[in-house]
Structure 1
Amino acid sequence: MRKRFMPAVLLLVMIVAFAAVMAGCSSGPDYKIDVTKELYFQKEKASPFEIKVTENGKAVTGLSVSVELSMSNMDHGTVKAKFAEGKGGTYSADVKVPMNGKYEAVFNFEKGGKKTEKVISIEVAKPEGVAKVNGKWITNEDVTFYKLINRLQLEINREAAKKNYSGAQLDEELAYLDSQEKLAEDKNQLLTQIIRLRSMAMLAEEKGHKAEAAEVDAAVEKARGQYAQFPSAQALIKQYGEEKFWTVEKQQYKLIVLAQMVQKDLVDQAKKENPKAGDQEVYYQAQKKYEDLLVSQINSLKVEIL
């Protein structure tokens, strides 16, 4: 059999063409994508999705970013989304996916007329709650419990108002408490309460504080005694489930005791810095430092809200 040889000129043309194609595939910037806020599946609802784009370890800003998502193992079509630029090379979008599972994410970047495509695989899971603080979930049950705590406080305040006021003053107080009901059940308000307490409890532990069991038990018993004075509060606790309530309440008081330790540190510090100041001024200064410290602590944590 006679062997056929490819003409040298044709071979050279093919090599050059292949090299040109390869160069075209790799000529764009070598962007690195890190998922900074994971995408979750929420039925009939979009979830926040955030990435950070870097090149040679440096954040890349000023990009136009879009993504096409498709499931790796089944066909549910393609989900498209455009990202808005945040700070420090972060880009985010609200994305609604059809179900949880493995996805292929095809990112398209454009800057200064240059286009780059990058493909990564992501795992889309069902959320275990409504928010995360340093990877620990805030569950729907957590939010429900805080809603109950707010309702308990409102009912206690109503009973106290009826005992202490009458006439127009009572009407005014009750009207004010009624106006607070909606705020007490607002999801964002409830999440803020939870995040504030958890953040300061974490800070207390970072400072070496520990909530001893005896101290927590004493705080819980004090709360139990306070609730026992108000029939409306007792009724709400019974409706929730008494055993369940006090189990969760004990967990919350561990956090409260830790946060109080930070407050005490700041009061002691304020007294030391202002030895001639009265108690009111000392507590004012301590509270101001507490709020500043709280903001700093929250900013240092990774907080994700779905």
Structure 2
Amino acid sequence: MHAVLLLMMMVFAAVMTGCSSGPDYKIDIIKELYYQKDKPSPFEIKVTEAGKAVTGLTVTADLSMATMNHGTVKVKFAEGKDGTYAADVKVPMNGKFEAAFLLKKDGEKTEKVIEINVVKPEGVAKINGQWITDKDVSFYKFINQLQLEINRDAARKNYSGKQLEEELAYLDSQEKVLDDQNKLLTQIIRLRSMALLAEEKGHKVEAAEVDAAVEKARGQYAQFASAQALIQHYGEEKFWDVEKQQYKLIVLAQKVQKDLVDQAKKENPKAGDQEIYYQAQKQYEDLLISQINSLKIEIL
């Protein structure tokens, strides 16, 4: 009896060893999964073991809803840098999902199950948790359209003949850019990133500064009939309310520009204005790239 019991215990131990979950990996969600109708969303995780990034894994997952039966979404991840793994995932709806991960490396398999909450996105991108909404993108499209019409009016005032035709043809070609969401997002991200940097540096914006900048913009738009017509069609009150919010960011960014101009003047006391502004602009772009890289930016 004792021999039989011992044999059974040994077999049980062998079976348990074979079902071991492998290395003790930890999975953290780097980029949350969102539900977008008929469209996949980026999903990114980071795998660590004892606080260190784990590379060289083959990562797959089965996603299923926790409370409803909508089938299983199979996901295969591609490896990125420093233990990150990403995939584009199309889920049937928002809600709570169970993600059953299978991680393989050097013949060892690890299974991990985590719960994720899939929600509808509030916009098209996030900067440090703050959404860039569809309305934000639409407004920037309108601003670009406004500038395009101003440039057309200016061309008609300053050029004639063939030169005018060429200028108007070029401006017509820029219409396509208005629908380029990536370019619009880039404009938004640049401004918001620099405004955040200005606040980090201790800069603040007074209401009077914003009001002065907005009034200056009003005066510039008033010079062009096409701009006035577009603003009226958009809704003057709505336009200037949104524009005022934009100018808070613009004034903040201008404070960083002024800091860099002052610094360039101090470092190059004999340089002319053109050289000063060139150096300041170069430093501004370098600073902007560094700032963007330091922020958590998610684009859906």
TM (norm. structure 1) is 0.96
How far does the alpha carbon of each residue in 1:40-80 deviate from its partner, in whole angstroms, 9 at most, with x for none? 00000000000000011000111111111000001000001
Provide the residue aligned with 1:124 in structure 2: 118
How far does the alpha carbon of each residue in 1:199-244 deviate from its partner, in whole angstroms, 9 at most, with x for none? 0000000000001100001001111111112121112112221111
> 1:23 Cα shift?
2.7
Provide the residue aligned with 1:54 in structure 2: 48
Distance 2:102 2:230 in 1: 53
Contact residue 21 and residue 109 of structure 2 kept, 8 A: no
Provide the residue aligned with 2:233 in structure 1: 239
Provide the residue aligned with 2:190 in structure 1: 196
Greater mean alpha carbon deviation, residues 180-189 or residues 279-288? 180-189
Residue 296 in 1 paired to residue 269 in 2? Answer: no
Match of 2:204 among 194, 202, 210: 210
> 1:29 Cα shift?
1.0
Distance 1:30 1:213 in 2: 54
The gaps in structure 1 that reach 5 residues or longer are: 1-6
Greater mean alpha carbon deviation, residues 78-87 or residues 190-199? 78-87
Q: Return the letter of the residue paired with 1:88.
A: D
- 1:154-303 to structure 2, matched below 5 A, reads 154-303=148-297
Greater mean alpha carbon deviation, residues 233-242 or residues 37-46? 233-242
> 1:13 Cα shift?
2.8
Provide the residue aligned with 1:45 in structure 2: 39
How far does the alpha carbon of each residue in 1:164-194 deviate from its partner, in whole angstroms, 9 at most, with x for none? 1100110111111111111133100000000
- 1:62-81 to structure 2, matched below 5 A, reads 62-81=56-75
Distance 1:139 1:281 in 2: 39
Distance 1:16 1:183 in 2: 71
Partner-residue secondary structure (3-state), 2:113: strand
Distance 1:213 1:26 in 2: 63
Q: Return the letter of the residue paired with 2:255.
A: M
Distance 2:205 2:11 in 1: 71
Residue 144 in 1 paired to residue 141 in 2? Answer: no
Contact residue 125 and residue 298 of structure 2 kept, 8 A: yes
Partner-residue secondary structure (3-state), 1:12: helix
> 1:18 Cα shift?
2.8
Residue 23 in 1 paired to residue 17 in 2? Answer: yes
Distance 1:129 1:175 in 2: 34
How far does the alpha carbon of each residue in 1:133-173 deviate from its partner, in whole angstroms, 9 at most, with x for none? 00000000000000000000000000010011100110111
How far does the alpha carbon of each residue in 1:225-278 deviate from its partner, in whole angstroms, 9 at most, with x for none? 111121211121122211111111000000000000000000001111111100
Q: Return the letter of the residue paired with 1:244.
A: K
Distance 2:103 2:130 in 1: 32
Partner-residue secondary structure (3-state), 2:77: strand
Distance 1:280 1:24 in 2: 73
Greater mean alpha carbon deviation, residues 9-18 or residues 45-54? 9-18
> 1:27 Cα shift?
5.3
Q: Return the letter of the residue paired with 2:8.
A: M
Distance 2:104 2:159 in 1: 66
Provide the residue aligned with 2:109 in structure 1: 115
Distance 2:172 2:193 in 1: 30
Distance 1:54 1:158 in 2: 56
Q: Return the letter of the residue paired with 1:171.
A: E
TM (norm. structure 2) is 0.98
Distance 1:139 1:25 in 2: 47
RMSD of aligned C-alpha atoms? Answer: 1.1
